[in-house]
Amino acid sequence: MILGIGLDVVHIRRIEHWLSVPGLPERFFHPEELASALSRGPTAPLSLAARFAAKEALGKALGTGLRGIRLADIRVINNHNGRPGIELYGTALARLAESGGTRLHLSLTHERDNAIAMVVLEE
């Protein structure tokens, strides 16, 4: 059964600004997530925008927003085929448990200046 659906869009300029502020990206991204995205070179801001949109969409799917969740406790990953997924740790994992959700589905897309993410939370 579906417990929640979340959708979010992030403009790439927001992430470009964050990357120019020392220490700021580390507040929003899991260390491995950040390293993976930065290894993409010039497309790193677009990749990070999609990942941040996923975090926001997760908060909406949970129905509680991201209040009380450490954003670095949410890690967007890609499997061997490139399919995106979400791994949760600490505060994010606790919030998922409180929601009664057990499965997360993630879809990401981006074009030019915007990235969009959709999360479906299942019981």
Is 110 catalytic? The answer is yes
Name the one residue in this structure whose structure tokens are 């070179």: 41
Token code pair at residue 14: 């927001």
User: Reduced to 3 states, what is the DSSP secondary structure of residue 5?
Assistant: strand
Q: Return d(Cα 55, Cα 59) in angstroms, integer.
A: 6
105 is catalytic: no
Nearest by Cα to 92 from 24, 18, 33, 47: 33
Helix locations, the chain, DSSP H = 12-19, 24-28, 31-38, 44-62, 90-99
Query: Which candidate in 17, 30, 60, 105 is catalytic?
Result: 60
The active-site residue out of 11, 55, 105, 110 is 110
Residues marked as catalytic: 60, 110
